Amino acid sequence: MPFENLQLSDDVVAREVGGETMLLDLASGTYFGLNAVGGRFWQLLESGQSSAEARDTLLEEFDVSADQLDSDLADLIGELRESGLVTAG
Amino acid sequence: LSFSLIHAEPHTPAPIAAEPKSVWRTEDGEITTTFHPAPEGFLVRVVECADYAIDFAARTVVCTPWPDTIPELVRTTFTNQIAPLLRTRDGDLVLHASSVAIDGRAVGFFGLSRRGKSTLATALSCAGHPCVTDDGLILLRGPAGFVAEPKIEPLRLLPDSEAALLGDISLPVERDTKARIELPGDIVFQQEPVPLCALYCLEEPAANELSIARLEHSAAMDRLIKQTFMLDTGDRARMRAHFECVAFLAETVPIFSLDYPRDYGQLAHVVDGITAHVRKIGEQA
């Protein structure tokens, strides 16, 4: 599936806690928890990878089918966009 | 607390022009406290109680009670709501939690109002474990974990807990709110700060027997964030530091969900079970 480029919000602070990634949106004061795959996706975006590159990296790192990963990432990106944590960019 | 509390004469509350930056509500949605930005800091309105004008530069809090508010309520509100907020702004972490010390280590019980925090702390104190606080647990961060700072204040209980735990030693007043109580002489308060060894989140009562389960980090963080005091959610540097501090707490202190039958007849069994659980954590540490 095609992955659009994503811009991370400058208002978000990420912190790994016990293998999970917690996000704090400084603008709204709300918190989000990401599982291992979601947290790694965020980390890869932070490191400068595009969403498509991050998807390919995840496919190499996790024991998951491409279809399942694409479906999960589509849901995750939708939630992140809806919450204002990322924008298309 | 390094803020000075100044008492003003009671006054009918005027409408506040500034929209609240945050609002506290009961589980039923009723507004209990509103936080309004002010040029010098914040105006905190505790509904049906008092207005607290906080001046960060002058480090003062001017308390203006609403008419006919009993002084006890104003004092309790300051101690349990305003003072923890100010401590948080100064960098400490304050949880909506009660706490006792078991074998020289603090355990905290946090959660929503009326989940049993004060009842558990009092029951454990009656069993010989020194009381650290019955509300507003102050946690000081150290290099390897957290230390609980004791708050030597009279305990406050709802009437049914008071009657079940303490018999008729306190004032037999008809009421549906918490009141400060006189304690039996054998209840002791923790005098010195103690290392924090565990936190228990009091869940919505559902269990027929004592139930304790370790929380995953994300679940622990979620619960902790909701039960920590934070005054200014617009102050990004403080929010960032607060977030980091709560994350460190979730990493360094085991956090459990706790449920038990809210049946006073089984409270002694619950106390024994919690004490045994805490000691087991100690053995594993």
ipTM > 0.85, yes or no? no
Which runs of E-coded beta strand occur in chain B? 4-7, 22-25, 31-38, 41-46, 50-55, 60-65, 93-95, 97-102, 105-110, 131-133, 137-141, 146-149, 156-157, 179-180, 194-202, 211-214, 255-259
Strand, helix or coil for residue A23: strand
pLDDT at B211: 94
Measured between beta carbons, which residues in chain A are less than 8 angstroms from residue B225? 31
Q: Provide Rg for chain B, Cα atoms.
A: 19
User: What's the distance, Cα to Cα, between the start and end of chain B in Å?
Assistant: 33
**φ, ψ (nearest 5 deg) of residue B239:** -60, -40
CA proximity to B21, closest of B243, B235, B241, B240: B235
B245 interaction partners in chain A (CB closer than 8 Å): none
Fill in the DSSP letter of residue B215: P
CA distance B52 to B40: 12
pLDDT per position as a tens digit, B176-231: 455 555 555 567 889 999 999 999 999 888 888 999 999 988 889 888 988 887 76
Q: Which residue of A has its CA nearest to B250?
A: A17
Q: Which amino acid is at B151?
A: K
> B118, B178 in Cβ contact below 8 A?
yes
A22–B247 CB contact, under 8 Å: yes
* Interface contacts A/B by beta carbons within 8 Å: 41
Q: What is the pTM of this model?
A: 0.80
Q: How far apart are CA A32 and CA B223, in angstroms?
A: 12
Residue B50 pairs in a beta bridge with B46, B65
Return the H-helix or E-strand segment holding B40: none
pLDDT tens profile B127-179: 999 999 988 899 999 887 899 999 866 555 555 655 555 554 333 333 445 55
Q: What are the pLDDT digits (tens) for A29-60?
A: 778 889 889 999 999 999 999 999 999 999 99
Q: CA-nearest residue of chain A to B230?
A: A29
- Band (pLDDT 50/70/90 cuts) for residue B269 is very high
